[in-house]
């Protein structure tokens, strides 16, 4: 068996495109742990998270060339995974929306890349502005801006109407702008 661990993710995807099963196994081994942790931050249903993760790698196997090569493979995989989760939520009769969950209780010791970014700006103007937002406004920003979901997908994930997502995003942006401008005026 040849060694694939030294290959880059784009190189592995090139091998997946020619149906190399060892390459898809390597991609799965590299990315499953962190993808699963992030999915579990979006839903308390472990089975649902595992199903979405499985569907993510099935999609990669079926369409490896959909990665255009102009970004990070991890970000591309997360985009697939979050959409798989939303798709599975859509199929459920009564999904558990994340809006009513205490997200800090789901994974208190594991931080996502977004969490790390927020920690990095925590003591600056952006951190102050983000902390000034209500949890509901921060959730819609997380779903639409950080996770890149459409308002329809975010609405399904959060368990709120699409119009509410749109209005909360508008309100969050306005509050952030206002907070940052007032801080700048005081400086």
| Structural domain boundaries in the chain | 1-96, 103-187
For the entire predicted model, the pTM comes to: 0.63
**Domain at 1-96: CATH architecture:** Orthogonal Bundle (1.10)
Q: Output the tens digit of pLDDT for each of the chain's 187 residues.
A: 568 888 999 999 999 999 999 999 999 999 999 999 999 988 888 999 999 999 999 999 999 999 988 788 988 999 899 989 988 887 765 555 544 444 444 444 445 555 555 455 555 667 677 778 888 888 888 888 877 788 888 888 888 899 999 999 999 999 888 888 887 777 6
Give yes or no for a contact between 156 and 86, defined as CB atoms under 8 angstroms apart. Answer: yes
The topology (CATH level 3) of 103-187 is Arc Repressor Mutant, subunit A (1.10.10)
Identify which of 115, 100, 119 has the alpha carbon closest to the alpha carbon of residue 158: 100
How many residues in total does the chain contain? 187
Give yes or no for a contact between 129 and 179, defined as CB atoms under 8 angstroms apart. Answer: yes
- Residue 105: the pLDDT is 42
Same topology between domain 1-96 and domain 103-187: no
pLDDT in tens, 163-182: 999 999 999 999 888 888 88
71 SS3 class: coil
């Amino acid at each position: 068996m040849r060694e694939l661990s030294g290959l880059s993710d784009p190189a592995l995807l090139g091998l997946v495109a020619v149906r190399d099963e060892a390459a898809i196994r390597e991609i799965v081994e590299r990315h499953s742990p962190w993808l699963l942790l992030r999915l579990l931050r979006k839903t308390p249903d472990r089975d649902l998270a595992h199903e979405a993760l499985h569907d993510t790698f099935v999609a990669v196997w079926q369409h490896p060339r959909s990665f255009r090569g102009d970004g990070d493979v991890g970000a591309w995989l997360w985009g697939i995974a979050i959409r798989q989760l939303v798709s599975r939520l859509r199929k459920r009769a009564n999904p558990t929306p994340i809006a009513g969950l205490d997200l800090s209780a789901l994974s208190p010791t594991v931080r996502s890349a977004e969490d790390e970014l927020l920690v990095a700006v925590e003591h600056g103007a952006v951190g102050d502005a983000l902390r000034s937002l209500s949890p509901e406004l921060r959730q819609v920003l997380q779903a639409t801006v950080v996770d890149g979901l459409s308002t329809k997908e975010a609405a399904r994930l959060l368990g709120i109407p699409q119009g509410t997502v749109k209005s909360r995003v508008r309100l969050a942006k306005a509050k952030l702008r206002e907070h940052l401008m007032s801080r700048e005026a005081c400086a």
